[in-house]
Chain A
Amino acid sequence: MDIITSLAIVAFAALIHASFQLSVSVLTLLSGHAIGSKKSRARVLHLTTSYTTGAGVMTLLVLSFASLIFLHAFGTTIPLIVWALACGLVLGIGIAVWLFYYRKGTKGTELWIPRSFAKFLNDRSKSTKYGAEAFSLGLTSILAELLFIIPTVSIAALVLIELPSEWQLIGIAIYTLISLLGLIIVWSLIGSGTSLARIQKWRTENKRFLQFTAGSALVVLGFFVYVSKIMTTISGSM
């Protein structure tokens, strides 16, 4: 796979990551509690900036950690069976996202995550008062989202370790920045004074569309990687 194709896969995986809603939900809760408790605009901006930075740092760490594990386990040449497993994981989670991403029978944007996770994040967002706490909440929200981002992180990590080292760093930076797009959009909307009700209404009205696109994009990613890595290698060796 050439460098441009590899980076395109990393960027596409990051875009799918950005479409997941857990960290965006926590950001809206955090800013809702901060605005509701009459914190100044500057304070709200400080908290949301710290939160977004925390989410970015954890994304960077998770991707780097996954890359390191894969590098130690397989070296720079990934066996076809590992690619096949990764594609299976991406397709499986893609179908699961179609079916389960949002909880059925709820009016809002309630996600299919353990309720204890949701309660913990909700309580933490309510009691967050300092930048350091918001930063930690950003770190935690990415960990809580792991179930959904494992496939995108795995594919990105597998692609990255086959690249030359300088391109690996660029790839990690591309993934981290693009995966934060959803958060950055909501952060800038909150910072520019857009009503949280407007943001939350948009998210609620379009939740099925977001669910469908995230699931479909995962299926497309799995299929594309399967064809470009496995099919091409098998047909090349025949």
Chain B
Amino acid sequence: MQEGGPLIHVVKNSHHRHPEPFDREKLHKSIVAACLSAGTPTGHAESIGRRVTDEVLLWLESRPEVTSNDLRRVASKYLRTYHPDASFLYEHHRATL
């Protein structure tokens, strides 16, 4: 985890790529983007993004390594409680094409 915590590695979907350190900002940005795409006003999207990111960080505490799919699934599960439509977009983003 960043900011002095233990380092968590994210194993990417394509195994050709090396695992990369977990990036809190990247997760927050992707959740905000899903909320905005679902028609949420910017301020509300930022607030949902912060809350979901915090919940995902709690879930990550006991895990030194996670896959990007796990991360997406868990973030989408937490997002569902705040914004089901955004959660749908977040979960299905990779399966659009």
A residues adjacent to B (C-beta < 8 A):
22, 25-26, 28-29, 31-33, 35-38, 106-111, 113, 118, 121-122, 193, 195-198, 200-201, 204
Contacts and interface: CB of A to CB of B under 8 A. Distances in A.
Contacts, number: 70
A40 to B, nearest CB: 12
B1 interface: no
Q: Chain A interface mostly helix, strand, loop or mixed? A: helix
Q: Chain B interface mostly helix, strand, loop or mixed? A: helix
B97 A26 contact: yes
Interface in B2-59: 32-34, 36-39, 42
Interface of B: 32-34, 36-39, 42, 85-86, 88-89, 91-97
B33 A37 contact: yes
A109 B95 contact: yes
A197 B88 contact: yes
A109 B93 CA distance: 10
Contact of B85 (A22, A25, A33, A198): A198
Contacts of A32: 33, 37, 89, 93, 96
> Which of A28, A32, A109, A197 is most buried by chain B, counting CB atoms within 10 A of its CB?
A197
